[in-house]
């Protein structure tokens, strides 16, 4: 595990701030080299990400990717509007300009924020689903320009098809291949219109994302209960896209709430730095969340969202910043006990690297548990149909059904997860940390940690396809192995790694897609010492499998 930087949790030094003019200049001036894999369009679990300073997120990438999306829409007969939102990163506005020029030239009807503001990922998902409800043709889709919680120098571009959630690899593979072909051909196949003309064209429409999303919130979280209980809420948007949503929410529902930071600054100079000394708007990091944690005693419950508001970080007076897995388990236990209109067969969706305390909660509730590979896309169909009541990831991303059992969003929604913390307190009289303590008193205390281990490209390649037989572990930290998995048990899909389970702990290992490391997720229901033993034996077993 890497050393924690001495600056972690402290205010940002002026010398560490992004040079925004240089960043934007590089976006327009630099040309990516399509022969360099690091400079090509590459869709991960949350779209294409990079920085203009390294030629991995430049105008060429956005022009090519947008044209590739237009081509994909024509191929699939998608003729409805495309909802487009941006976050507050410095490269979001330039990328929006590039995207508008291409979408307008291709005659795609795009819906942009009417106030020229920022749009959370869940608001885009909600808009797509609301438009498509009851339709079988002329379906809408969307784009969100965001690198999520990544540093200020980064940009991101992700596509949400008509189901409203993240595009799966069948879609992103097509878009990525086409975009890189356009880059290699010098963008010759890209249709483009001057930005001023594009904004005045019949293809570009001003859209109110805020009002319909805010008006529908009371149908997913019981905000009348929160209001009547007088729960005192603290909210930190971390300078992100949700910043202008909170006052309309507070006013409409009469909430007792304070937005503790309303600043929007593309350098994010108001942040405290993350564990490695970098600026990240990571609401699950105690270092990035240091400012809100210091305010914990001012509020009954407080929370933050990352920059596109698809993640949540919950802070309570009794427990400080909650571990994301702990809050997921608490939310699941509460929701399935307090949503009588959800179907009796509505399942719980979790990723293979999420805490097994969720498994124990599901068993206690008598609910089906569906364990999937990493990526929110695996929960989309279940949320659309209502066969999943809840889908969540260990990285503090989740969504759940409306109170009547119908779909809310099919992308992660940190706004509703934050407000749910207030509903939990209003309903039970106990904050989420206290409710989690009640759960663990009955189900056992989980000790969970993720560590990064240095790995060569060859080792990472082996790990992607390692089999249970190759690993061959019969015992783990003193307990017999009950299962070794390379495919997610919920849907039989490979998750690009290996997972070993016992009755009292487990580990999962996956290669990083961007760094020379592999990630070990591990958990023990015995002790921290037992967790460390699991981690050590996992590394030893993997080293053996690598042939070292």
Which residue in 427, 440, 414, 286 sits closest to 358, CA to CA?
Answer: 440
Number of residues written out for the chain: 548
- Locus of tokens 């805490």: 355
CA 282 to chain centroid, in Å, comes to 10
145's enclosing H/E stretch is strand 141-145
Task: Give the integer Cα–Cα distance in Å for 357 and 469.
Answer: 27
Integer Cα distance of 110 and 90 in angstroms: 22
Residues ≥6 apart with Cβ < 8 Å to 303: 233, 234, 235, 236, 283, 312, 313, 314, 315, 414, 417, 418, 421
Question: 332, 366, 355, 369: which is closest to 491 by C-alpha?
Answer: 369
Residue in 465, 478, 442, 474 with CA at minimum distance from that of residue 360: 442
From 52, 125, 148, 354, active-site residue = 148
**CA 150 to CA 225: how far, in whole Å?**
35
- For residue 125, indicate whether it is catalytic: no
**Alpha helices of 300-413 — where are they, by DSSP H?**
324-337, 357-365, 380-385
* Contacts of 395 by beta carbon, 8 Å cutoff, 6+ apart: 284, 311, 324
Enzyme catalytic residues: 148
């Amino acid at each position: 595990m890497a050393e924690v930087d001495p600056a972690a949790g402290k205010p940002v030094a002026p010398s560490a701030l992004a040079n925004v003019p240089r960043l934007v200049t590089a976006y327009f001036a630099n040309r990516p080299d399509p022969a360099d894999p690091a400079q090509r369009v590459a869709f991960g679990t949350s779209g294409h990400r990079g920085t203009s300073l390294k030629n991995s997120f430049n105008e060429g990438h956005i022009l090519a990717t947008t044209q590739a999306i237009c081509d994909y829409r024509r191929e699939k007969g998608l003729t409805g509007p495309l909802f487009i939102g941006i976050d507050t990163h410095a490269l979001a506005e330039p990328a929006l300009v590039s995207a508008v020029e291409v979408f307008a030239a291709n005659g795609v009807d795009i819906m942009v924020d009417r106030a020229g503001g920022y749009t959370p990922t869940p608001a885009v998902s909600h808009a797509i689903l609301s438009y498509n409800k009851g339709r079988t043709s002329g379906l809408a889709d969307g784009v969100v320009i965001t690198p999520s919680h990544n540093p200020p120098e980064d940009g991101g571009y992700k596509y949400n098809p008509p189901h409203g959630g993240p595009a799966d690899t069948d879609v992103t593979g097509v878009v990525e291949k086409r975009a890189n072909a356009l880059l290699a051909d010098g963008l010759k196949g890209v249709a483009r219109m001057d930005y001023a003309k594009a904004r005045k064209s019949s293809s570009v429409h001003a859209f109110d994302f805020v009002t319909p999303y805010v008006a529908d919130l009371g149908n997913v979280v019981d905000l009348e209960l929160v209001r009547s209980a007088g729960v005192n809420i603290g909210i930190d948007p971390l300078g992100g896209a949700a910043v202008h949503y909170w006052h309309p929410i507070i006013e409409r529902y009469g909430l007792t709430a304070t937005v503790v930071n309303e600043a929007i600054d593309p350098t994010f100079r108001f942040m405290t730095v993350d564990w490695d000394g970098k600026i990240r708007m990571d609401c699950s990091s105690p270092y990035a969340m240091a400012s809100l944690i210091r305010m914990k005693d001012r509020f009954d419950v407080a929370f933050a969202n990352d920059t596109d508001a698809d993640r949540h970080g919950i802070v309570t007076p009794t427990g400080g910043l909650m571990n994301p897995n702990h809050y997921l388990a608490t939310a699941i236990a509460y929701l399935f006990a307090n949503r009588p209109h959800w179907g009796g067969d509505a399942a719980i969706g979790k990723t293979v690297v999420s805490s097994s305390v969720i498994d124990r909660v599901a068993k206690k509730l008598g609910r089906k548990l569906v364990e999937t590979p990493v990526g929110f896309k695996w929960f989309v169909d279940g949320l659309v149909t209502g066969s999943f009541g809840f889908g969540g990831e260990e990285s503090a991303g989740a969504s759940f059904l409306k109170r009547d059992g119908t779909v809310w969003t099919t992308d992660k929604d940190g706004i509703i997860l934050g407000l749910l913390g207030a509903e939990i307190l209003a309903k039970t009289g106990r904050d989420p940390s206290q409710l989690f303590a009640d759960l663990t008193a009955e189900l056992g205390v989980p000790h969970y940690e993720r560590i990064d281990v240095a790995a060569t490209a060859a080792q990472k390649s082996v790990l992607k396809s390692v089999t249970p037989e190759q690993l061959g572990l019969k015992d783990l930290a003193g307990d017999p192995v009950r299962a070794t998995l390379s495919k997610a048990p919920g849907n039989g899909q490979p998750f690009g790694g290996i997972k070993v389970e016992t009755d009292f702990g487990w580990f999962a290992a996956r290669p990083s897609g961007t760094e020379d490391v592999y990630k070990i997720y591990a958990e023990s229901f015995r002790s921290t010492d037992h967790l460390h033993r699991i981690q050590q034996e996992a590394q030893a077993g993997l080293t053996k499998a690598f042939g070292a």
